[in-house]
Structure 1
């Protein structure tokens, strides 16, 4: 190395120079006659002293470097290290000497030597990389890190790359274009084997390489763009502009670690184009950047991030004025330009959502939206943005609708939007035309691209977020479009909706249920819905889960759920558990509805309960459950006030102090020996007399209404189900006993098993125990033994007056009245004891007892347990004395004792009233003939003589 440097610094005369030339020529021509070290020294002397020999010397040095590389690779292949003095080590010494001289040339005269040496080194590196690319042990060009490691451990190539780096370092501040041009030329010629050189140089001078590569690429693009249309977006553009591929490759290598530098270089190039004086630069910069983005998804991603931020309204307006002349003169190229933009948008994965927002905003922004008119794009820019949106949606629809299987790599734009599909749906709901139409089409494309799960989630979001009917109509539009590709999307929707209705989900359940109800109602009434999948069918499979919402704390949610269930309909097959839960939930909601004050509202809601009850009561098991829950519910403490029942509220005199606390308070006082204060407090036993407070919480009109609605629902739940649809609208009731069906029309037709259940349940709910709960009426003397029991039964009916209405409704049914015989017997016994001991002269002075006696007699008469004329005695109670009322009731008791209630209607029909039971009635009529004269003929009709 020292020898070479000293030789190169000598000044040679003409004869010495000639001798060096001859020595160099002989050494190159006849191998082995001149040592490599001497030959290289001669070459380096000629390189400095004889410019004409420059190419020959560099060519010789290239051969020496090539020989060294070949020897290095051979040693790697055979796994040996040569110790031959004339082997690899000697060559490496010579090459180090030569590279040292080249470094000296570069440092001494950078402007003269750097371009020459850089071009030579790039060419040599490219040649070596390409020549030995297929050698064993050389990694594939795609393995850039392994390839870079191989060549950087090879001494010849390492020396060359160091020389090249030195050239760049020497020219960075001056004229780096020559080096960059050489780099691009070599990259075009030897790519992809040359990529490792680009990667290394770029990592050393990232900013310079990025900037100069872009400028060189732009110059080449401008040159070819003037010869052929620079807006051409065809796939062969890189063949028409050779350096474009190299520019893309170099930037692609640098993008991994220097993406921010590339992004800043793009922005500087774009901003400079707006201010450039050259028309070619102004017209070709944007197409050049777009062309780069079209050739590399990575560059597209880098470019999209900041470019949209720079394209504000003033910049867009300026671009419009710059390109307006070109647009008018070259419409086809303009169309190609727009097509290129659309294709780039479809390839965008990062920044796709921002690009969409940018286009839609600038396509629809108005001057009223901005205070400064200069911040609003001109009409032509808005029209162009609208065209881009339409073309983008058209391309997306074509790809989604025409391809049955689309991988995510084919449409990066949609794959990027899929995670934000819910945000797009919300934008669609709150947007105005034409954004609404665009967003709807885009949502459909995103849903069909994302699959049924994505579609179900979007539809459920629309259903839960829609606030108006117009917004909800977008659900129908989206469903009709996506069902073409996703026929089972509504099945997933139903599951998604049920997930949103879970208690732990923060969802506006009332809005969701109301929207679902509106959609179901539309399906039920619209003819267009027949061509679509039915929400009704999908939600019917979730019938059990929907029923749970009937118990929701918000009663409006429960009411909406009830309406939904009525439209959805009950599944054909239900388990007994499901029936039990459904019946209980419907009736629980029914009692909650009765708390409302508005009669019209309550009437409509109760009709919904009736619809649900009709659906449930198709099975006998459901009827039994419904009747059981209704009778239990009407007597429960929570609901009895709704029907005029009495609520006993007791005043709690105790302050609920714990005994331990009392003793602690005693301990804080000064204790005296053997005094009461030294004894522990034992507490207070009892709280004294309780003061019952009976009150009615609702008005009389509300109570009457509630009773009527309850009885209607009980009637509907207990009547026998028939196939005749007109049966549902009947006003009068039939009887199960056909032999008596012609006697009265106010008899409820109830299945026999249900009759027995109703009667037994009433007895169970009103009597304190099962003792004496048989149907037989004992002797009068036993009344003294059952006084307490009879008074308890009386108190139950007195606290729950709706029971009298229930008795009257079922009075025409013999089976029910026969089963209720223990209750009727206790009521009769209580009335007998009352009127027997009453101090009132007239019975009508005890109006409550008179009314109860009248109802009791009418119930026995309607069920035909009391024959004529005992069944008419209810008309006498308002006019008789208390003792006569006692006699009438005692007569009824004696008849019932002799003719116990039976479930056989034929036996009941054969019974007649014995004469001894008629005498008290006749005597009472005689005593009150002035008031009961008009009734006598009804009790004892005159006997007409038989005509001969």
Structure 2
């Protein structure tokens, strides 16, 4: 005994007598020399001595050594309990050295003769680890079998089980090249017997030999799956029929297949480092199952793999991407033929399990969806790039269509059966929808594809995703659809989606509008083309009269939501891109203005809308749709309040007088620019203009000063055709007509709201606003109270102002039209007294200087003189007999025309154009002037009658029109 202790190498030589004593001691457990009982350590070393010198005793010795390891593990567990579950000890005192000796002896045997000892020692060690794992699985410090990593850490911290593991790894390494089946079969047999407590052993071994262990574990799991399926089917047939679970809600962990849980745990542990090997083996098993099956387990491979993936999201994520890529139409057809032999219940269960897996797919969800829709879509639809881009066979297409319908039904159940108003538990999360939540733009683009069947699927899925993600995701989806929709049919899909979501997602429309406005003004900012399309689509939906939107029409609800964003939308009217500004005008024309819009913000919106009107008039012409939208916007702004209407009219007149807009109406370069509305400064202002602003500049022809007329510094020479070509005469007249019509349209808002009488063409208040804007633009130095007419001699004091006003009227044909428009709303023309005086004085002076010619030789003064008297007659500033004098001007001499104009001056001087001379006529609904109150009118007609008598031969037939 003493010679054997401490010796683990080859025997140094032992006699038969000593060997016999050792045998007796080992069998009896007593020391023959001293007569006392052997300790565990002495008994184990006695067995090791026999094992080295008496090979036939190896079975008994190995069986005894089981107890040594069991004793060690028992003490290890007890010490863990005493330490309160903390970090356990590395070994039990007194048995550490003997376990090392056992490991050394067995390792030496395996190294010296692996063919004889490796199978025996591997089976013994693996079976012993299985027994120990099962025996102590219920003890307090031992983790649950599902916690594979914790279980592995605990057992590998024990020297006894770690020694057994090292022995088995040595045996497997020795046999892996020649006959690995013996070791692996023993491993899997023990795994089946002691699963799931033994899975930590298989997982650790698999980390050392991944390819061998992974394939063997999968093969063992498939065999066990087939065995339990066969037994379940036979028991079901005996009981009268199968009891199948709901195909839409398969149970991921089937209690009838105990081994598959072990397979999942082992592969899950190996997936952290050997995911590529696991993915390769799973795909290999799948493709082998589609070919000619030599093994009876072949048809069950696909259900086995589906069940395996359902129980392990890690395995599902590892294999899903490459599996989708490998599902070409021929492979799909093989799969359909392989599963065609299943019964109806089995097929339903399999489809439900596939749907469950898709719902649990996170990474690659978009690829999976694209594959399903591509395979299920009609053959005429050209799918996008991918494995399903080729036309799938009809049978495969029908199967995929059924799968898509089941998927949508399952997602609908998962989404709508969640508790409302509470944080969603992790168990109710849908990874498939979570992954698609970040791909909203791509889903929206696919939804707008106008292939009927595919579009319905995408539309339903997008609606479920919006309900699942809440108002934020729903708003993003609606915003993306509005950005991408390019036709009325696609815009109808947006309305239909909102109609399905309105009852499920609270405050969806305001959130979507906020998202759209934010995309227009802040990052990521939309390109001009997409921004214009978004605004146009919003405008189209604002006028939508369909029933979508939870009962109420969508258009009014969207318009009310947009009304809260009028201010940021109004800033887009000045956008440099014409498409954006045009769509913004169209949208604002369809949106009601909020009551909270203050005067300052309203004035800013009026300025922006007026600027857009003139830009559209210059870009598109008077008949463009953009101009019509701008007119509607200004008309809507004028209906907000009387002050808003006056602001619109004033801004229209001021902008029409601006030099940059004068050419639109046939105006010349000297158009007035009111100090209240200065032209925007540009970097290339003319030096001559700057010089004239500081003093008088004299143009000496042919001198160096002529260089100022050659061009503008920084801009180069003037173009050959002048400073810029305006529209032609016909287009200019159309522009004038459009502007005057807009003034009348906006001025109609100033009609008394309670009046039952017909409103005049231009209400007096509107005409007054236009008149004041004209005076402010042409004569800003004149006050509103300057209405009285001075004597004719007073005109010599205002010659400069009168000439300036006359030049404005000559170069701006629009001014006479505006003056005629003012005359339609008496007594508004009274407020243009300063303009009438300037024109009348200047024209009279012109005819005085041209008395030797003929009136037709001065076309514009003749036209202006006739228009001036016609306006004064329409504005009821002249009595009818004197007002008709302009009909004779083209038949008279210039001197006679001057005399008639002076008669008009005298009448207006004596009967000043004061508003108090007008009274409201309730029958007509307008203001009228009673000329009978002005005294004797005959004295003002003396010159007129004299002219008629002088030209009685030509004008005698008109004499009756000029009698009181």
Q: Is the TM value for this pair above 0.5?
A: yes
CA displacement 1:167-198 (0-9 Å, x = unmatched): 22223234444444444455566666545434
Partner of 2:681: none
Contact 2:5–2:45 (CA<8 Å) still a contact in 1? no
- Structure 2 gaps of 5+ residues are 85-90, 235-241, 672-683, 688-702, 711-717, 920-928
Partner of 1:57: 61
Contact 1:71–1:88 (CA<8 Å) still a contact in 2? yes
Q: 2:817 aligns with which of 791, 805, 808?
A: 805
Q: 1:578 aligns with which of 597, 601, 604?
A: 601
Distance 2:287 2:311 in 1: 22
1:272 to 1:716, Cα distance in 2 relative to 1, 3 A: closer
- Are 1:333 and 2:358 counterparts? no
Q: Alpha-carbon deviation of 1:23?
A: 0.8
SS of equivalent residue, structure 1 residue 505: coil
SS of equivalent residue, structure 1 residue 904: helix
Distance 1:703 1:227 in 2: 94
Contact 2:211–2:277 (CA<8 Å) still a contact in 1? yes
1:280-299 alignment, distance < 5 Å: 280-299=296-315
1:233-382 alignment, distance < 5 Å: 235=251, 238-275=254-291, 277-324=293-340, 326-327=341-342, 330-364=343-377, 366=379, 377-382=392-397
CA displacement 1:575-623 (0-9 Å, x = unmatched): 1123212222222222233336766546x94376146414533411111
Distance 2:708 2:225 in 1: 106
Contact 2:495–2:549 (CA<8 Å) still a contact in 1? no
Partner of 1:413: 432
Contact 1:569–1:615 (CA<8 Å) still a contact in 2? no
Q: Alpha-carbon deviation of 1:850?
A: 2.2
Contact 2:466–2:473 (CA<8 Å) still a contact in 1? yes
User: More deviation in 899-908 or 257-266?
Assistant: 899-908
- Are 1:398 and 2:445 counterparts? no
Contact 1:579–1:616 (CA<8 Å) still a contact in 2? no
Partner of 1:505: 526
- Are 1:207 and 2:221 counterparts? no
Q: Alpha-carbon deviation of 1:924?
A: 1.9
1:725 to 1:896, Cα distance in 2 relative to 1, 3 A: closer
Q: Alpha-carbon deviation of 1:147?
A: 5.5
Partner of 2:651: 629
Contact 1:117–1:167 (CA<8 Å) still a contact in 2? yes
Partner of 2:478: 459
Contact 2:496–2:548 (CA<8 Å) still a contact in 1? no
Partner of 2:691: none
- Are 1:217 and 2:232 counterparts? no
Distance 1:574 1:9 in 2: 108
Partner of 1:791: 803
1:514-525 alignment, distance < 5 Å: 514-523=536-545
SS of equivalent residue, structure 1 residue 638: helix
Q: Alpha-carbon deviation of 1:317?
A: 2.5
Distance 2:754 2:519 in 1: 40
Contact 1:773–1:822 (CA<8 Å) still a contact in 2? no
Distance 2:186 2:193 in 1: 11
Partner of 2:952: 929
Partner of 2:564: 541
Q: 2:668 aligns with which of 646, 666, 684?
A: 646
Q: 1:166 aligns with which of 170, 179, 188?
A: 170
Distance 2:554 2:844 in 1: 70
Q: Alpha-carbon deviation of 1:236?
A: 8.4
Contact 2:103–2:163 (CA<8 Å) still a contact in 1? yes
Distance 1:362 1:379 in 2: 10
Contact 2:634–2:746 (CA<8 Å) still a contact in 1? no
Q: Alpha-carbon deviation of 1:275?
A: 4.3
Distance 2:663 2:853 in 1: 34
Contact 1:644–1:696 (CA<8 Å) still a contact in 2? no
Partner of 1:721: 751
Contact 1:814–1:905 (CA<8 Å) still a contact in 2? no
- Are 1:440 and 2:453 counterparts? no
Contact 1:184–1:243 (CA<8 Å) still a contact in 2? no
Q: 1:553 aligns with which of 558, 563, 576?
A: 576
Contact 2:541–2:554 (CA<8 Å) still a contact in 1? no
SS of equivalent residue, structure 1 residue 821: helix
1:60-209 alignment, distance < 5 Å: 60-71=64-75, 90-129=94-133, 148-149=152-153, 151-184=155-188, 186-187=190-191, 194-209=198-213
SS of equivalent residue, structure 1 residue 499: helix
Partner of 1:667: none
Q: Alpha-carbon deviation of 1:283?
A: 0.7
Contact 2:545–2:554 (CA<8 Å) still a contact in 1? no
- Are 1:816 and 2:835 counterparts? no
Distance 1:768 1:469 in 2: 51
SS of equivalent residue, structure 1 residue 594: helix
CA displacement 1:63-97 (0-9 Å, x = unmatched): 222333455566677789xxxxxx95542222211
Distance 1:239 1:137 in 2: 26
Q: Alpha-carbon deviation of 1:253?
A: 0.9
Contact 2:667–2:813 (CA<8 Å) still a contact in 1? yes
Distance 2:488 2:426 in 1: 35
- Are 1:765 and 2:781 counterparts? no
1:656-671 alignment, distance < 5 Å: none
Distance 1:859 1:815 in 2: 12
Contact 1:767–1:792 (CA<8 Å) still a contact in 2? no
Aligned residues: 882
Distance 2:851 2:517 in 1: 67
SS of equivalent residue, structure 1 residue 840: coil
Distance 1:311 1:524 in 2: 43
Partner of 2:677: none
Contact 1:401–1:485 (CA<8 Å) still a contact in 2? no
Contact 1:648–1:694 (CA<8 Å) still a contact in 2? no
Partner of 1:670: none
CA displacement 1:257-296 (0-9 Å, x = unmatched): 1111111121222333344542513212222222211221
Partner of 2:925: none
Distance 2:886 2:546 in 1: 52
Q: Alpha-carbon deviation of 1:892?
A: 2.3
Partner of 2:690: none
- Are 1:698 and 2:713 counterparts? no
Q: Alpha-carbon deviation of 1:17?
A: 5.8
Distance 1:871 1:18 in 2: 156
1:218 to 1:178, Cα distance in 2 relative to 1, 3 A: farther
Q: Alpha-carbon deviation of 1:886?
A: 1.9
Partner of 1:616: 638
Q: Alpha-carbon deviation of 1:529?
A: 6.5
Q: 2:231 aligns with which of 227, 231, 248?
A: 227
Q: Alpha-carbon deviation of 1:782?
A: 3.0
Distance 2:903 2:259 in 1: 123
Distance 2:263 2:784 in 1: 106
CA displacement 1:812-831 (0-9 Å, x = unmatched): 44442222111111111112
- Structure 1 gaps of 5+ residues are 81-86, 650-654, 659-683, 735-746, 942-948
Partner of 1:569: 592
- Are 1:938 and 2:961 counterparts? yes
Distance 1:524 1:531 in 2: 6
User: More deviation in 374-383 or 833-842?
Assistant: 374-383
Contact 1:4–1:101 (CA<8 Å) still a contact in 2? no
SS of equivalent residue, structure 1 residue 430: coil
Distance 1:182 1:116 in 2: 10
